[in-house]
Structure 1
C-alpha cells in the first residue's frame, strides 16, 4: 500500500526546528514537501555548527530528510509570485514567519485560501498569530524560561536549568502535525481547507501537564527536585558503588513493598508506618532517601540493574547519548537507519517513531542540498521551461543546484 500521505503536496516555508519538524513528519508519512529556502544562506540551521558531517551541519540534517529544497528569494516580487503559484498547487502550507513578515510576503492565509479553497494553512509562531504578543519571535530557550520549565528543572538549591533539547519546538511541531491531519480529515468530508494557528507558548503551557494542574488547583508554586519526583518516592537516580547511576521508578505501594521485602530484604523500610504509603514517603523523603542511597552505594550498577529487574522493580541505567543510540533496545527496534548521499557519504539518523502496519513511513532520503530541487519543482509542478528557470537563476531570485545524483539508497538499519 502507499504511504499514508502519498499524493499530498506541502509548501514548506519554515526554518530552524518547530516548523521543519512538522513538515519532516509529513514527509516521512509520504507527502511531497517543497522546502522554500533563501537562495544564498538557506535554512538558518545549515550554519549551526559544530558538529558537522563533512562541513554540513548535523543540526540541519536532523529535521529535513525526505524534502525537496527550492531556493527562492521571497523578498522579490518574482519570488513571491512563484510561491503563490506553488500555493495554488499545494494541499498544505506551513510557515513560521512573524505575522508582519508573512503579510509583507503576501502570505495572508485568507487570501491564499481564496485562490485555493482546499489549502490548509498552518502558522507556527511564538505567541500566536493574533495575540497581543504576536510581534515577538519565538525561541525555545526563552519559552522554556517563560513557561515555567526552568523553575522546575535542576537541583533544588541550584540555578534554573533548561532541558538539553529544544523540546517546546519539537512538541509544537508535533501539535502542528496533529492539527494538519485533523484538517485533512475534515477536508475529505467538506472539500474545504482551513487555517491553523499553532503557538510555542500554547504548546509549552500544555506540556506543563500535571505541574500546571497542581498549581491551577492548589495555588502552590512547584519547586525543583533535581532528578527526584515531587509526587512519587522513591522515583529518582541513585549513585551505585562503581560511580554509575541507576534511575529507580517505584510508582506505587506494591512496588515499594517488593523493593523492600524482596529485592533489598530490608523489611523495616516496609514495616515503618512512615513509609507504607506514597504520601508518607513523599512527606518523609528526607529520611527515606538517604537510607536507600546508602544501600544502593554498596553494589555496582550492573548488580542493581539485574537484581531489581529480577524482582520486577522499574529501573534503568543512566546512559550517555552514545550508549542510548547503540543500546540493545535501539537495536531491537531498528531505531537507527542510514542513507547514502553522493557528497556526504553515509548519513545516520533516528528512524521515524511512527510504526504503521499497513502504511508505514517512507524509506528516508537524505536532507537536500540548498536549491537541489528548484529546477525539478518549477518544471514538474509549475510547467516552467528551462529558459524561464535560467532567467530566475541569472537574476539571483533562485538558486538551482545542478547536481543530479540520487540523494539516497534504500535505508539500512545501522
Structure 2
C-alpha cells in the first residue's frame, strides 16, 4: 500500500457549516493533516444541526469533520492572534467560507497571509465569489440553486419548484474546491508559490448546466427549459413512473434500448404494434409523440409491481431502478459492497454509521477512522507543533485563549 496522496500537507480549516468543512473532510481522507479552527463557546454552527445525539452532539458535524484535529482560539487576545498567524505560517492550505472581506478584518485574508507564507494555497468559498456586483451579498446553497436556473427546471408545470432536499450547491462547490486545491498544490511544485482560489456556489451551479445554457444560446434565445414533472421531453423515454406498489425510473432514451423496451411492452400486454412502430425508432420521433408513448408506458407500469417491471427490464438490459428510501439505500447490497456507509467507533456514542466518500484508490485506503473532534480537543498538541512552550500553553488554556469543552 502507498502512503495517502496528501500525506505531509497541513490544512487549516477555518470554515463552518457545510461547503468548507466538506472540503476539509475530503482532504483529510486523502491524507492531509487537517486542523479545524473554531470560535470559542459554540464553535462551528454545524454543531447545532440535525441529527443531534443526547442534545449535544451533531451528526451533521460528525459527518463533515471526521479525520480532523480541533482547536478553538480566541482571536481577540493577542496570544490567540499570534497562535493563528503561526498556524497559518505552518500551513500548505487555508480554507474559509465567509463573506468576502470578513477575514481581512481579522488579519486572516489572503493578502496578509500570503505575504507571510507565499506558498500558501488559500481557498475561499462564498455565495457569489469575491468579484462582481453581488460579491458583498450573503447567501446559501438555496440562494444559488434559485439563482442558477436549476430550481426553475424541476417540479410540475404551474407549481412552485420544490426544494432539492440535498445541498447541491455546497457539496458540488466543495468537491470542485478539492480539485482546485490539489491542482494548485501540484502547480506549486514548479512555481514555488501558492495562490488564491475563489469558489462561488452560484458559479458552480451555472457550470452544471449540461444542456440548458447551450440550448438557449445556440437557439438564438428561443429555447427555454420548462418544468416537465416526471420526464424529460427532449429524451423520451427517460423519467419516473408509478407502479402499483412504488415508484421506479426507466432510461430507454437510446434507440436500441427503446426498441427492446417497446417490443417487451407489446409482448407483455402493451399496445399492439408498439415495438414495430417506426415513428418511435428515433429520438426526434419519440419526442414528437411523447404524450402517446407516456400514456402507454404509464398504464403498463401502473398495472405491475416495481419488482416485476425491474425483473423484465433487467432481462432485456434496459436501465431501470426503484426509487429507494434512505433505509433501502443503507441496506442495498451494492452500497454495502462498496463500503459507502462507513463505521466509526466513538468514545461516547459507540458505533457510528455515516456516509463514506466515493474515493477509491488501488493502492491506498481513504477510509477515515478518526471521529470529528470535540471543541478545542487538540489545542495543546497543535500549539506544541507551533513552538509554544508547555508553560505558555498552560497559561493560554487557563485564560481561555485556547478554549475547549
1:371 aligns with 2:376: yes
Deviates more, 1:249-258 or 1:275-284: 275-284
Distance 1:331 1:43, change over 3 A: same
What displacement does 1:75 show?
Answer: 4.3
Whole-Å separation in 1 of the counterparts to 2:71 and 2:304: 57
- The one of 221, 230, 233 equivalent to 1:230 is 233
1:53 aligns with 2:53: yes
1:175 aligns with 2:176: yes
Deviations 1:86-137 (A, max 9, x none): 0110111111122221111112212211211111111111111132222112
Alignment of 1:178-327 (within 5 A): 178-218=179-219, 219=221, 220-241=223-244, 243-262=245-264, 264-265=266-267, 266=270, 268-327=273-332
Whole-Å separation in 1 of the counterparts to 2:75 and 2:224: 46
Alignment of 1:118-197 (within 5 A): 118-197=119-198
What displacement does 1:352 show?
Answer: 2.0
Whole-Å separation in 2 of the counterparts to 1:174 and 1:262: 41
Whole-Å separation in 1 of the counterparts to 2:134 and 2:76: 24
Deviations 1:156-187 (A, max 9, x none): 23211221111110011111111100011111
1:393 aligns with 2:397: yes
Alignment of 1:7-46 (within 5 A): 7-46=8-47
- The one of 342, 348, 361 equivalent to 1:356 is 361
TM-score norm. by structure 2 comes to 0.94
Distance 1:319 1:137, change over 3 A: same
Contact 1:85–1:382 (CA under 8 A) maintained in structure 2: yes
1:342 aligns with 2:347: yes
Whole-Å separation in 1 of the counterparts to 2:114 and 2:363: 33
What displacement does 1:385 show?
Answer: 2.3
What displacement does 1:271 show?
Answer: 2.9
Whole-Å separation in 2 of the counterparts to 1:54 and 1:254: 55
Whole-Å separation in 1 of the counterparts to 2:113 and 2:212: 40
TM-score norm. by structure 1 comes to 0.92
Whole-Å separation in 1 of the counterparts to 2:166 and 2:66: 19
Whole-Å separation in 1 of the counterparts to 2:213 and 2:264: 36
Contact 1:67–1:367 (CA under 8 A) maintained in structure 2: yes
SS at match of 2:122: strand
What displacement does 1:251 show?
Answer: 2.6
Contact 1:250–1:314 (CA under 8 A) maintained in structure 2: yes
What displacement does 1:297 show?
Answer: 1.6
SS at match of 2:275: helix
List alignment gaps of at least 5 residues for structure 2.
none
What is the total number of aligned residue pairs between the two structures?
Answer: 398
Deviates more, 1:175-184 or 1:106-115: 106-115
Distance 1:209 1:364, change over 3 A: farther
List alignment gaps of at least 5 residues for structure 1.
402-414
Contact 1:39–1:73 (CA under 8 A) maintained in structure 2: yes
What displacement does 1:362 show?
Answer: 4.5
Distance 1:75 1:284, change over 3 A: farther
Residue in 2 that maps onto 1:384: 388
Whole-Å separation in 2 of the counterparts to 1:310 and 1:91: 52
Distance 1:216 1:62, change over 3 A: farther
Contact 1:144–1:162 (CA under 8 A) maintained in structure 2: no
Whole-Å separation in 2 of the counterparts to 1:216 and 1:360: 44
Residue in 2 that maps onto 1:110: 111
Deviations 1:8-63 (A, max 9, x none): 000111111111111110000010001000110111110123x2233311121221
Contact 1:233–1:282 (CA under 8 A) maintained in structure 2: yes
Deviations 1:281-319 (A, max 9, x none): 222212210111111122211111111101101110111
What displacement does 1:263 show?
Answer: 5.4
Deviates more, 1:316-325 or 1:76-85: 76-85
Distance 1:397 1:209, change over 3 A: farther
What displacement does 1:76 show?
Answer: 4.2
Whole-Å separation in 2 of the counterparts to 1:96 and 1:80: 19
Deviations 1:352-407 (A, max 9, x none): 2110111331533111111111111111x212223222322333332135xxxxxx
Contact 2:97–2:124 (CA under 8 A) maintained in structure 1: yes
Deviates more, 1:213-222 or 1:173-182: 213-222
Whole-Å separation in 2 of the counterparts to 1:117 and 1:316: 51
